[in-house]
Chain A
């Protein structure tokens, strides 16, 4: 870990895996507005589409934000 001192695990060595519980998704689009490189919505019903299961480190902050914001608690982030 290259401890950036932010206390938020922003270090280079962190790998992130994103899990989406699709049946929980309520199609709010919050995740897409925050992290459009990682999430999209299906055209027909707005349900989430995970574009990138292992996003690069510069996207991690946005993905974490999406996971907190998601009004259906459908996004889970696993970091190692």
Chain B
């Protein structure tokens, strides 16, 4: 292999590039990213950057010297616009054609948007520029409406409260995040919003952003100075349209995270078959981006020793004064059991069942050893009966 091209210059793309070098790849390594910045980290955007505790100089993923040492051909500020699979070239917006013999696709996702034109008032939160633009317009007495009470919307609501803004959080579901973490944990999160003075309105459908705020489908106007739309995201696969790669909910990959011979997908954009859980998944978590970037680099370099990518997904989220941590695949769970602590005290450990197996663990304020022990139960796909059975009083 003489020329590897990585498209997408963020967590997954950087991990792939770094791992290729660490594993001894000495050929040309091109990293293409449409943002004008060196690879930077996103989780702090809705936390320390939005809250003003950090300035942008804290978010680069690597020190300049460490990035230099990778010997990358960096093409930043230019988008990939097309892929010729048979000819093995990537087309760029500036007209260049970059040849490859190995390709990593790590173009992530972009925010889903609402209809309407709120002008300067309407925000999304994905990039550094998004975070700085929103931060500039928040402060004491400013009215912020957040559409979508997922993890991102909830984090932003919490931070905005900390900045003294008046926050309305609009959520279509009756309980925020219930499909992801279960109803009881979802209700615990709702309570945290109430406790911190956020006006959480559930079961409301938003029609559009207007120049006065947010219009609900029943005609009501929720007045706001700023509107943050946090209603999920869309995989950045437009540039792969017509390439012959399979696109569905993201770039479809096999258990090795391969989309075609010598073409791999990693990070938020990639949907792949995770053999540990026996299901296809697309994971929008920071750790997965890195782990998948590393895994595809190794599979690309050693085609005869490829390994299935079979991680235990992990995420964290900071809300007000507590941090949620979860290991596993919680979506589609059939049962949740709180096995340690108390939800009401925001110190607890909940485990999730899918089929007859432990599928995940979610913890708030618990000692790291306890969390790691339960993670191990997920990693070994322990039987629910053995792991949780005896711990539970009826109906817990």
Contact = CB atoms under 8 A, between A and B. Distances in A.
A7 B27 CA distance: 12
A54 interface: no
A69 B325 contact: no
Interface in A24-57: 24, 26-30, 32-33, 41-44, 46
Interface string B240-279: 0000000000000000000000000000000000000000
Given A6-B24, A28-B314, A76 B66 contact: yes
A29 B22 contact: no
B368 A71 contact: no
A73 B294 contact: no
| Among B18, B22, B61, B286: residue with most chain A CB under 10 A | B22
Contacts of A32: 368, 372
B66 A43 contact: no
A66 B314 CA distance: 15
A44 B62 CA distance: 28
A16 interface: no
B interface: dominant SS: helix
Contact of A30 (B15, B23, B41, B287): B287
A74 B371 CA distance: 21
B368 A41 contact: yes
A20 interface: no
Contacts of B66: 76
The main secondary structure of chain A at its interface with chain B is loop
B22 A68 contact: yes
A52 to B, nearest CB: 18
How many B residues are at the interface, by size bracket? Answer: 20 to 34
A6 B23 CA distance: 7
B316 interface: yes
B349 to A, nearest CB: 13
Interface string B292-315: 001000000000000000000010
A24 B66 CA distance: 18
Interface string B14-35: 0100110011101000000000
A27 B287 contact: no
Given A71-B290, A73-B41, A29 B24 contact: no
B367 A43 contact: yes
Contacts of A6: 24
A8 B368 CA distance: 32
B335 to A, nearest CB: 25
Given A71-B287, A76-B63, A26 B22 contact: no
A47 to B, nearest CB: 9
Interface string B42-79: 01000000000000001011110010000000000000
Contact of A73 (B22, B62, B372): B62
Contacts of A27: 316, 323, 325, 368
B287 A46 contact: no
B43 A26 contact: yes
Given A69-B291, A73-B62, A8 B24 contact: yes
Identify the interface centre among A28, A69, A76: most chain B CB within 10 Å of its CB: A28
A71 B43 contact: yes
A23 to B, nearest CB: 9
Nearest to B15: A68
Contacts of A33: 372
19 contacts: A27-B316, A28-B287, A29-B368, A30-B287, A30-B314, A33-B372, A43-B369, A44-B367, A46-B325, A46-B371, A64-B22, A68-B290, A69-B290, A69-B291, A69-B294, A71-B314, A73-B60, A76-B63, A76-B66
Closest 4 CB pairs of A and B: A7-B24, A41-B368, A46-B368, A71-B286
Interface of A: 6-8, 24, 26-30, 32-33, 41-44, 46, 64, 68-69, 71-73, 76
Given A7-B23, A68-B22, A71-B287, 11 more contacts: A7-B24, A8-B24, A27-B368, A29-B371, A33-B372, A43-B367, A43-B369, A46-B325, A46-B368, A46-B371, A73-B61
